[in-house]
A and B are shown apart, each in its own frame.
Chain A
């Protein structure tokens, strides 16, 4: 049983990662979707109740047979979840794993702490920019300051929406079956296409450039010239889109545009610092860990650093309270979209799994008291 490496699962809003402990990367990163009875794709995040249970059954079965090639009854499972995992989602997963798949044991680990594992640091801010939201989680000496966690709905999805809007605003030219027309609302491409427009053509502009774009948006200045080159994007056999160069640099600006009280990806970090004990602010600002697929856009980290330096000096709220002139980042040990997974792979290869995981027997015996997993203490194990 010992050489049977545990399975690690992480169900993100957009992507699901699966693989085995002690491996360097997930075996696969797949979309968090299942096929509906009409053959259409349904996002796991849009489901609840028995439909969600059924969807988890389907996707987990696909993971085990298509990507992992192992039997679910023979492997312990480590499940990565974020602080905001909804209770019903967790409950559904727990039930499906223990009752339907009869996994021998399950350990739930928090995403942000697993992100710290590969770096061997115990104090820092984990900034996770995924699909639905960006979230900054401060950790001091291994302890999560739950009340200081900040989040905002900025992520891959927001950029996709922005790309769609800008294609309309900038009157992008779409060649449809050989006929040229202006892209409009009814041409809306699905998230697959928008995501590839983003991944293939967009980037995060340098700070100064961002300022120019912001001034233009506020109506103070002309649109900055020297925009990037337009790009022909082949949507499919019949559709070709001419992506305006301006869109390529400005779509990602949504992460940094500051309007009034709204959050940007950079203010999230400063807000976290504001709500953390003064003694720790410097250490936290010197230990920034960036994770999540959206942070992989070219130029992102540099821009974030410049934004932080700017805001901390120019915005009163921050300059009066945070005396920091340096923000330091930990270089990623792997691609940013699976750092937490790698952390769990390292963490899960230790005795911890045997000690902390909750066996199926224990689960079945104590089922009634599973109000909230986090309230659950491993007492029954200690009494034996």
Chain B
């Protein structure tokens, strides 16, 4: 029970990031260069590398772009989205050397081991090994779209040239004139439309758009032709035939193949697996990497990982007291140093301007500074008592000391009659920077700085007094 509580209790202690967001320590980064907390909302997210999650192949960015972020060799089941397995078998084919004889060649089809969909089911021909993989389906409108791109490019270039000419000798309203070719702003401003409309009615605007396209002699592209010959519903299929739901594709399946959007399962085609992105994070202030993964796609390690969890003391609630409104209670907080150097820690109250309405209780903080030992996995935890004597700890304040962890007994006073009691304080400590070396000492000494963090602790609901319930 306690373990589970522990895991889910992470939201009880929040650290304020430099951008103002409050997050649990595990969600916060600590930039060792500018010595500030960062969270996912205040760092740059960048594509570090791309890889296929299935074959774990690392794909260089340029190839990934060419392949539209898809893996060339792995496919997904168009029916259930599981990965398809290639099945190899020996197919007999006419021999190349002997016109009458047969020979065998290795061929493949794709099979879903989960739902049993197979490329054979839907009539996709088997592929011979070494024939260069599965062919992609060509979009039927490709040529037309390419023609359209060329067509509009010429128009746009012309517009740009006109615009450049006019820039030398601007006349009033020219911006509007430029925009009406595509009607962009016209569609958005009612006032503007009104004036253009009057012009259109009186027939004074001959369409720039059309006249421009007419003179495009080098690109022979006809506008679309409208027709009143619209395909009627296939009445026989819809009214007289049974419909087997499993033969019709779902909306999700259709959208997996955006270009074709097959209506029936029989039109399915294997879907190339999408590549995964490994992200790197970069500090917005100093541009240093905060997270940088390793290139090896199977590795989950990081080259750089500046998680606050490794650098900043972790605060936890050890025991929650009964919280009675406006009465003093004792709460025990623990502080743990995850860092390789020891720390001098002190707790400071907030300045008046730092207070906010989410703070609903007062916490009385010790004036004294205390020491948090460094994290050292190689040492057996010393006995409480020996450590305690070494640091000359005040037993009234410090409840225990074990290695890099310390327990503190503090007084809180809830300042509300009902609801949750939240207290806030600043944790100030020194930080020995093992990454950034001190310039003044010629880089031989690590730089030591004092930093402080605003920490919110949610102690839980107060016990409402009997009078207020009644």
* CB-defined contacts of B65 to chain A, threshold 8 Å: 69
Which residues of A327-384 have CB atoms within 8 Å of chain B's CB atoms?
327-331, 333-335, 337-338, 342, 345-347, 349-352, 355-356, 373-375, 377-379, 382
Contact between B152 and A331, CB atoms less than 8 A apart: no
Q: Mark B178-196, 1 if CB is under 8 A from A, else 0.
A: 0011111111111001101
Q: How far is the CA of A223 from the CA of B206 in the complex (A)?
A: 54
Which residues of A289-306 have CB atoms within 8 Å of chain B's CB atoms?
296, 298-299, 301-303, 305
Min distance, Cβ B385 to any Cβ of chain A, angstroms: 44
Contact between A382 and B170, CB atoms less than 8 A apart: yes
Contact between B226 and A302, CB atoms less than 8 A apart: no
Choose from B44, B187, B233, B241 the contact partner of A299 (Cβ within 8 Å). B233
- Is residue B377 contacting chain A, with contact meaning CB distance below 8 A? no
Min distance, Cβ A36 to any Cβ of chain B, angstroms: 15
- Is residue B254 contacting chain A, with contact meaning CB distance below 8 A? yes
Contact between B160 and A356, CB atoms less than 8 A apart: no
- Is residue A258 contacting chain B, with contact meaning CB distance below 8 A? no
Q: How far is the CA of A178 from the CA of B139 in the complex (A)?
A: 44
Q: A69-B69, A352-B182 are in contact. Are A120 and B233 (CB under 8 A)?
A: no
* CB-defined contacts of A70 to chain B, threshold 8 Å: 47
Min distance, Cβ B285 to any Cβ of chain A, angstroms: 13
Min distance, Cβ A148 to any Cβ of chain B, angstroms: 9
Contact between B279 and A65, CB atoms less than 8 A apart: yes
B interface, size bucket:
35 or more
- Is residue B248 contacting chain A, with contact meaning CB distance below 8 A? yes
- Is residue A113 contacting chain B, with contact meaning CB distance below 8 A? yes
Q: How far is the CA of A382 from the CA of B167 in the complex (A)?
A: 7
Looking at B108-116, B255-263, B426-434, the stretch in contact with chain A turns out to be B255-263
Q: A298-B233, A298-B238, A355-B160 are in contact. Are A27 and B149 (CB under 8 A)?
A: no
- Is residue A179 contacting chain B, with contact meaning CB distance below 8 A? no
Choose from B50, B188, B227, B228 the contact partner of A69 (Cβ within 8 Å). B50
Which residues of A213-256 have CB atoms within 8 Å of chain B's CB atoms?
226-229, 231-234, 248-249
Choose from A25, A195, A345 the contact partner of B251 (Cβ within 8 Å). A195
Looking at B197-205, B326-334, B347-355, B356-364, the stretch in contact with chain A turns out to be B197-205
Please give 14 more A-B residue pairs, beta carbons under 8 A apart, in addition to A28-B255, A302-B230, A350-B155: A140-B200, A141-B200, A141-B205, A144-B187, A147-B193, A206-B233, A206-B235, A232-B245, A298-B233, A328-B226, A329-B227, A352-B159, A373-B188, A377-B185
* CB-defined contacts of A66 to chain B, threshold 8 Å: 274, 277
Which residues of A6-61 have CB atoms within 8 Å of chain B's CB atoms?
15, 22-30, 57, 61
Choose from A205, A328, A334, A352 the contact partner of B233 (Cβ within 8 Å). A205
* CB-defined contacts of A113 to chain B, threshold 8 Å: 182-184, 187
- Is residue A1 contacting chain B, with contact meaning CB distance below 8 A? no
- Is residue A136 contacting chain B, with contact meaning CB distance below 8 A? no
* CB-defined contacts of A22 to chain B, threshold 8 Å: 149
Contact between A122 and B238, CB atoms less than 8 A apart: no
Q: How far is the CA of A377 from the CA of B173 in the complex (A)?
A: 10
Contact between B160 and A351, CB atoms less than 8 A apart: yes
Contact between B139 and A24, CB atoms less than 8 A apart: yes
Looking at A168-176, A181-189, A196-204, A315-323, the stretch in contact with chain B turns out to be A196-204
- Is residue B299 contacting chain A, with contact meaning CB distance below 8 A? no
Q: How far is the CA of A231 from the CA of B239 in the complex (A)?
A: 12
Choose from A145, A296, A349, A378 the contact partner of B175 (Cβ within 8 Å). A378
Choose from B141, B175, B258 the contact partner of A29 (Cβ within 8 Å). B258
Contact between A143 and B196, CB atoms less than 8 A apart: yes
Most chain A CB inside 10 Å of its own CB: which residue of B160, B186, B194, B240: B186
- Is residue A286 contacting chain B, with contact meaning CB distance below 8 A? yes
Contact between B47 and A379, CB atoms less than 8 A apart: no
- Is residue B224 contacting chain A, with contact meaning CB distance below 8 A? yes
* CB-defined contacts of B227 to chain A, threshold 8 Å: 328-329, 331
A interface, size bucket:
35 or more
Q: How far is the CA of A204 from the CA of B235 in the complex (A)?
A: 10
Min distance, Cβ A229 to any Cβ of chain B, angstroms: 5
- Is residue B469 contacting chain A, with contact meaning CB distance below 8 A? no
Min distance, Cβ B378 to any Cβ of chain A, angstroms: 39
Min distance, Cβ B219 to any Cβ of chain A, angstroms: 11
Which residues of B115-164 have CB atoms within 8 Å of chain A's CB atoms?
139, 141-142, 144-145, 148-149, 151-153, 155-157, 159-160, 163
Contact between A120 and B213, CB atoms less than 8 A apart: yes
Contact between A351 and B207, CB atoms less than 8 A apart: no
Q: A24-B141, A113-B183, A143-B193 are in contact. Are A120 and B223 (CB under 8 A)?
A: yes
Q: Can you list 5 A-B pairs with a CB-CB distance of less than 8 A?
A: A143-B197, A229-B242, A333-B144, A350-B155, A355-B156
Contact between A117 and B148, CB atoms less than 8 A apart: yes
Q: How far is the CA of A277 from the CA of B255 in the complex (A)?
A: 40
Q: How far is the CA of A195 from the CA of B252 in the complex (A)?
A: 10
Choose from A249, A335, A346, A374 the contact partner of B259 (Cβ within 8 Å). A335
- Is residue B232 contacting chain A, with contact meaning CB distance below 8 A? yes
Tell me the nearest residue of chain A to B139, going by C-beta.
A24
Contact between B184 and A350, CB atoms less than 8 A apart: no
Q: How far is the CA of A205 from the CA of B235 in the complex (A)?
A: 8
Tell me the nearest residue of chain B to A148, going by C-beta.
B197
* CB-defined contacts of B210 to chain A, threshold 8 Å: 122, 141
Q: A349-B153, A382-B175 are in contact. Are A118 and B255 (CB under 8 A)?
A: no
Tell me the nearest residue of chain B to A83, going by C-beta.
B187
Q: How far is the CA of A196 from the CA of B253 in the complex (A)?
A: 10
Choose from B44, B155, B189, B243 the contact partner of A229 (Cβ within 8 Å). B243
- Is residue A109 contacting chain B, with contact meaning CB distance below 8 A? yes
Contact between A374 and B145, CB atoms less than 8 A apart: no
Q: How far is the CA of A15 from the CA of B251 in the complex (A)?
A: 11
Contact between A26 and B155, CB atoms less than 8 A apart: no
- Is residue A112 contacting chain B, with contact meaning CB distance below 8 A? yes
Q: A142-B183, A228-B239, A298-B234 are in contact. Are A73 and B44 (CB under 8 A)?
A: yes
Q: A28-B258, A69-B277, A206-B232 are in contact. Are A143 and B245 (CB under 8 A)?
A: no
Q: How far is the CA of A124 from the CA of B210 in the complex (A)?
A: 14
- Is residue A314 contacting chain B, with contact meaning CB distance below 8 A? no
Q: How far is the CA of A145 from the CA of B175 in the complex (A)?
A: 20
Contact between A305 and B224, CB atoms less than 8 A apart: no
Contact between A328 and B245, CB atoms less than 8 A apart: no
- Is residue B371 contacting chain A, with contact meaning CB distance below 8 A? no
Choose from B200, B225, B232, B239 the contact partner of A143 (Cβ within 8 Å). B200
* CB-defined contacts of B188 to chain A, threshold 8 Å: 83, 110, 373-374
Q: A302-B232, A346-B145 are in contact. Are A200 and B238 (CB under 8 A)?
A: no
Q: A22-B149, A206-B233, A375-B189 are in contact. Are A334 and B141 (CB under 8 A)?
A: yes
* CB-defined contacts of A248 to chain B, threshold 8 Å: 238
Tell me the nearest residue of chain B to A375, going by C-beta.
B189
Q: A61-B45, A69-B64, A142-B183 are in contact. Are A346 and B148 (CB under 8 A)?
A: yes
- Is residue A68 contacting chain B, with contact meaning CB distance below 8 A? yes
Q: How far is the CA of A122 from the CA of B246 in the complex (A)?
A: 43
Q: How far is the CA of A329 from the CA of B223 in the complex (A)?
A: 13
Min distance, Cβ B272 to any Cβ of chain A, angstroms: 12
Tell me the nearest residue of chain B to A140, going by C-beta.
B200
Min distance, Cβ B247 to any Cβ of chain A, angstroms: 9
Min distance, Cβ B99 to any Cβ of chain A, angstroms: 42
* CB-defined contacts of A331 to chain B, threshold 8 Å: 224, 227
* CB-defined contacts of A88 to chain B, threshold 8 Å: none
Q: How far is the CA of A22 from the CA of B233 in the complex (A)?
A: 34
Contact between A229 and B185, CB atoms less than 8 A apart: no
* CB-defined contacts of A379 to chain B, threshold 8 Å: 175
Contact between A302 and B233, CB atoms less than 8 A apart: yes
Min distance, Cβ B429 to any Cβ of chain A, angstroms: 31
* CB-defined contacts of A229 to chain B, threshold 8 Å: 240-243
Contact between A68 and B69, CB atoms less than 8 A apart: yes
Q: How far is the CA of A258 from the CA of B249 in the complex (A)?
A: 32
